[in-house]
């Protein structure tokens, strides 16, 4: 760390000489490999991406610049560009919340480092997985994308904070398209880990292939749903998407400031007393598990809802100052090419004390929702979500599959309608887009919702 610390310390000294209100520097090095298999075509790419991001705050304005060269001259040049941008702008930003001086280096533990595994072995694993998919006669097209990253981040600020963090990340997205007797359908899965090259130990190849193929086969024999208002049981994967998309974004401080439905709701009941939702950067093996965010803030759990009561919002330094709260360490950027935004990390609903059988037992007719296929949420809390895998619930038991189902409603109303929460828990992986892509996790238990609007799509 000393080489980079000396380099960044020199840039900090120059920023102080310029008389900024606050400045920080984020040096990143990322080693990546991407393996893609699209039907009969295979491609491999790998490399290193590195650079330095610079932010300057001066008189209520922010300037941002970056450089792809790691040298004192290029960093100072970027600093001067950011300074000139801030000095030449009129702004009403609050001064970012400041931290105490600190120095720390953290390396997230791994079981088997990505670096130690030859790329040809990784390619063979992907080809073996693809072979399992291709052997199914229902599959007409298939796509597999495997991404691995070794990320190193070095942070320095005019507060004399010098921090560094290293982690590994592996991510696999696979989708299949198929047809049978004139019916066409698609299915997808996403798997991930931060423990190194252990993806196929965590998710065995045959089990993962069978999971994806089963989703496709279910869709090809499924029937259309009955439209109307029905009770539903939501499985952990679909619940995670709902918690992230339909609720989590509403609790990001920049969107709260823009008028999300959670504005002025702090301390008020916004959900059933059975509901507790947190954004937790300490969950084991989560894509949002980080010790520090991209603003050099020590990450902390944000308890968004506790037993139905809205407690915290997710903040970066700027919005923490705006709302007069402590920053939660939710300032994240896609890379050094971007300034941090308020972003989620691991956003989950905590489990309750019911079994799945207990959730199903009281439903005479409803739907069991397993996985989603995209959707839309608005600041007023209204949402519509397409469902990829779902089943009827008939007399307390899971029945026939349905396809082309969608659910719609209001987020807070839906949370109020949760009347039972399962005791299980699962974590899932993905990337969230908000002008920038960042890796996140979401999840939770099974839950039962008294009623929700179900339709076709």
pLDDT in tens, 119-152: 999 999 999 999 999 999 999 999 999 999 999 9
Return the pLDDT at 90.
87
> With pLDDT > 90 as the criterion, what percentage of the chain qualifies?
96
Q: Which of 192, 220, 248 is the last residue of a domain?
A: 220
28 and 39 in contact (C-beta within 8 Å)?
Answer: no
Instruction: Return phi, psi of residue 107, to 5°.
Output: -120, 115
The pLDDT of 248-265, averaged and rounded, is 96
Question: Do 147 and 244 belong to one domain?
Answer: no
pLDDT at position 18 over 60: yes
pTM: 0.96
Do 20 and 145 lie in a common domain?
Answer: yes
Are 423 and 315 contained in the same domain? yes
149 and 241 inside one domain: no
User: Can you tell me the distance from the alpha carbon of 327 to that of 115, in angstroms, rounded to the nearest whole number?
Assistant: 34
pLDDT of residue 376: 82
Residue pair 235/446 in contact (Cβ under 8 Å)? The answer is yes
List the domain range (segments joined by +) for residue 95: 2-220
What's the pLDDT tens digit per position in 410-437? 999 999 999 999 999 999 999 999 999 9
The backbone region for 239, taken as left when phi is positive above 0, alpha when psi lies in -120 to 50, beta otherwise, is alpha
Do 246 and 214 fall into the same domain? Answer: no
- Is residue 215 scored above 90 in pLDDT? yes
Same domain, 290 and 439: yes
154-196 pLDDT, tens digit each: 999 999 999 999 999 999 999 999 999 989 999 999 999 999 9
Both 332 and 421 in a single domain? yes
Average pLDDT over residues 93-102: 96
Residues 118 and 254 in one domain: no
Please tell me the distance from the alpha carbon of residue 48 to that of residue 34, in angstroms, as a whole number: 12
DSSP H helical segments within 224-383, as ranges?
A: 236-241, 253-257, 317-323, 356-361
Distances in Å between the Cα of 123 and the Cα atoms of 142, 225, 266, 404 are: 16, 40, 50, 34
Does 369 share its domain with 287? Answer: yes
Q: Do residues 49 and 187 share a domain?
A: yes
Domain edge (last residue) among 186, 220, 254: 220
Number of structural domains found in the chain: 2
Alpha helices in 247-364 (DSSP H): 253-257, 317-323, 356-361
- Please, what is the average pLDDT of the chain? 96
216 shares its domain with 139: yes
For residues 397 and 434, state if they share a domain. Answer: yes
pLDDT, residue 1, reads: 52
CATH code for the domain of 42: 3.30.2290.10
Which residue among 204, 220, 236 closes a domain? 220
């Amino acid at each position: 760390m000393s080489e980079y610390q000396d380099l960044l310390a020199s840039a900090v000294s120059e920023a102080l000489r310029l008389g900024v209100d606050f400045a920080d520097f984020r040096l990143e090095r990322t080693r990546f490999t991407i393996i893609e298999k699209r039907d009969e075509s295979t491609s491999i790419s790998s490399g290193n991406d590195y650079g330095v991001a610079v932010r300057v705050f001066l008189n209520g304005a922010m300037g941002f610049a970056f450089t792809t060269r790691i040298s004192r001259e290029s960093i100072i040049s970027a600093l001067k560009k950011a300074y000139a941008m801030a000095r030449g702008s009129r702004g009403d930003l609050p001064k970012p919340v400041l931290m105490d001086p600190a120095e720390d280096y953290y390396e997230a533990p791994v079981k088997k480092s990505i670096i130690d595994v030859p790329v040809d072995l990784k390619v063979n694993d992907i080809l073996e997985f693809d072979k399992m998919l291709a052997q199914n006669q229902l599959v007409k097209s298939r796509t597999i994308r495997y991404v691995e990253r070794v990320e190193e981040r070095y942070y320095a600020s005019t507060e004399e904070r010098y921090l560094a963090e290293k982690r590994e990340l592996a991510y696999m997205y696979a989708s299949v398209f198929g047809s049978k007797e004139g019916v066409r359908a698609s299915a997808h899965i996403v798997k991930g880990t931060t423990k190194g090259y252990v993806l196929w130990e965590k998710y065995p190849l045959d089990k993962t292939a069978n999971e994806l193929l089963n989703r496709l086969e279910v869709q090809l024999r499924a029937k259309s749903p009955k439209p109307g208002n029905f009770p539903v049981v939501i499985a952990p994967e679909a619940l995670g998407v709902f918690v992230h998309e339909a609720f989590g974004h509403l609790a990001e401080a920049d969107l709260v400031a823009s008028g999300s439905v959670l504005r002025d709701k702090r301390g008020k009941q916004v959900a059933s007393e059975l509901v507790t939702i947190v954004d937790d950067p300490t969950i084991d093996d989560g894509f949002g598990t980080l010790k520090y965010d991209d603003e050099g803030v020590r990450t902390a759990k944000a308890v968004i809802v506790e037993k139905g009561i809205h407690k915290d919002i997710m903040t970066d330094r700027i919005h923490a100052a705006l709302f007069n709260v402590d920053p939660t360490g939710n300032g994240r950027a896609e890379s050094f090419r971007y300034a941090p935004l308020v972003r989620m990390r691991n956003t989950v609903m905590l489990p309750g004390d019911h079994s799945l059988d207990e959730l199903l037992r009281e439903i005479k007719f409803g739907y069991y929702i397993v996985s989603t296929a995209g959707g839309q949420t608005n600041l007023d809390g209204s949402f519509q979500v397409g469902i990829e895998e779902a089943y009827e619930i008939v007399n307390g038991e899971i029945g026939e599959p349905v396809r082309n189902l969608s659910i719609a409603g209001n987020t807070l109303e839906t949370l109020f309608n949760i009347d039972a929460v399962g005791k299980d828990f699962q974590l899932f992986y993905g990337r969230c887009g908000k002008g920038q892509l960042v890796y996140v996790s979401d999840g939770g238990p099974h839950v039962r919702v008294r009623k929700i609007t179900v339709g076709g799509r």
